[in-house]
Homo-oligomer: A and B are copies of this chain.
Amino acid sequence: MTVTIEDVARRAGVSTATVSRVIAGKPYVRDVLRIRVQDAIQALNYRPSRVARSLRVQRSSIIGLIISDIQNPFFTSVVRAVEDVAQQQGFSVMLCNSDECPEKEAAYIDLLLDEQVSGLIVSPAASDNEIYHRLAEAQVPVVVIDRRVESSPVDMVVADNTQAAFEVVSHLITNGYRRIGAVLGVPNASTGAERYEGYVRALTAHGIEVDPTRVRRGMPRSNFGHTLTLELLRLDNPPDAIFTGNNLLTIGALRAIDELGLRIPEDVALAAFDEMEWMFLVKPALTVVAQPTYAMGKKAAELLLQRIADPSRPPQEILLQPTIKVHESSGPK
């Protein structure tokens, strides 16, 4: 049924070893034979079995990509970038969605190891997962993206969240806002913690006290953004501006503000992390942090391929700078 390397060898009048050499582009094959083999491959429409090769070399040319939420546009861009560079190097991508769930993440890591992947890119659901130790044992190259993990040094690609948060919140303050609330991701993701850190620094730098009741945390999903923002806006002394620390939280916040019939930025200003600039487009936010999403994915994939090629290379940590985009504002009412 399927045409094998043996069929090609027979047709070309050589051994399978020679065919294998030609395919792998190895030297030490006479041009006559090389051409005869290539012709046979063409004629038979031969395609090597990646499965057989994987078994033989104990490694597939697949790289695993585990992200914590595929619905988040942030990761969408990352996926695309990873796919682009992988494909260009002859690797394919197996995509897994951990759904922010460490158990699911662990299960996927196991699965990918069972598939003998060449390497792994993970946006970790938690900052620590015992599975990472197994990973280290398995000697499979890994690069962590977006969020930091506390484990032995690994390649890491993250954004400078603290700085970005500092800047957007400062911008709100400069525009006259004082009662600034925050809707952030849970602190077990390092991103949430760092963005909180930037928020606090901005307030204190401007002599504003941090009011804990104005800070809310939840899973990075729009329904949480919605609930938490409602909570903030229903406080006795509600915030005059809100800083949302994540794409999806921002969506939820917009819905909440809309429901209460409030206008942006007259009634409440918004500063947001927003990868896509979609929100920015329709101008509901005063300031926006645009993540270098594609760049992060690209860098991660490149690092991974480097490490696959040379496992001895010392781990690197790459810190990318988000872009801040600003809308004009007349300040609070």
Interface residues of A (CB under 8 A from B): 2, 47-52, 54-55, 58, 60, 62, 70-71, 73, 76-77, 79-80, 83, 92-97, 110-111, 113-116, 251, 254-255, 258, 278-279, 281-284
Residue numbers in B under 8 Å from A283 (CB-CB) = 258
A79→B95 contact, CB < 8 A: yes
A49 to B94 CA separation, bound complex (whole angstroms): 16
Most-contacted residue by chain B among A71, A110, A282, A283 (CB, 10 A):
A282
A291 to B240 CA separation, bound complex (whole angstroms): 36
Report the minimal beta-carbon distance from A319 to chain B, rounded to whole angstroms. Answer: 25
Report the minimal beta-carbon distance from A139 to chain B, rounded to whole angstroms. Answer: 9
The 9 nearest A-B residue pairs measured at CB? A95-B95, A51-B54, A50-B114, A282-B282, A51-B55, A55-B55, A51-B116, A70-B80, A50-B115
A83→B55 contact, CB < 8 A: no
Contacts known (A92-B96, A258-B282, A282-B258); A60 close to B51, Cβ less than 8 A: yes
Most-contacted residue by chain B among A50, A60, A62 (CB, 10 A):
A50
A48 to B116 CA separation, bound complex (whole angstroms): 11
A196 to B229 CA separation, bound complex (whole angstroms): 40
Most-contacted residue by chain B among A80, A83, A92, A279 (CB, 10 A):
A92
A115→B83 contact, CB < 8 A: no
Report the minimal beta-carbon distance from A190 to chain B, rounded to whole angstroms. Answer: 24
A-B residue pairs in contact (CB < 8 Å), sample of 19: A2-B58, A47-B113, A47-B114, A49-B55, A49-B114, A50-B115, A51-B51, A51-B55, A71-B73, A71-B76, A92-B115, A93-B94, A93-B96, A94-B94, A94-B95, A251-B278, A251-B281, A254-B281, A258-B281
Residue numbers in B under 8 Å from A92 (CB-CB) = 94, 96, 111, 115
A258 to B282 CA separation, bound complex (whole angstroms): 7
Most-contacted residue by chain B among A48, A50, A51 (CB, 10 A):
A51
A116→B80 contact, CB < 8 A: no
A284 to B284 CA separation, bound complex (whole angstroms): 11
Cβ 8 A contact of A73, one of B54, B73, B111: B73
Known pairs A70-B76, A282-B284; list 16 more (Cβ under 8 Å): A2-B58, A47-B113, A50-B111, A50-B116, A62-B115, A70-B79, A71-B73, A71-B77, A76-B76, A79-B95, A83-B97, A93-B95, A93-B96, A94-B94, A258-B281, A279-B282
A66 to B154 CA separation, bound complex (whole angstroms): 31
Cβ 8 A contact of A83, one of B70, B110, B278, B281: B70
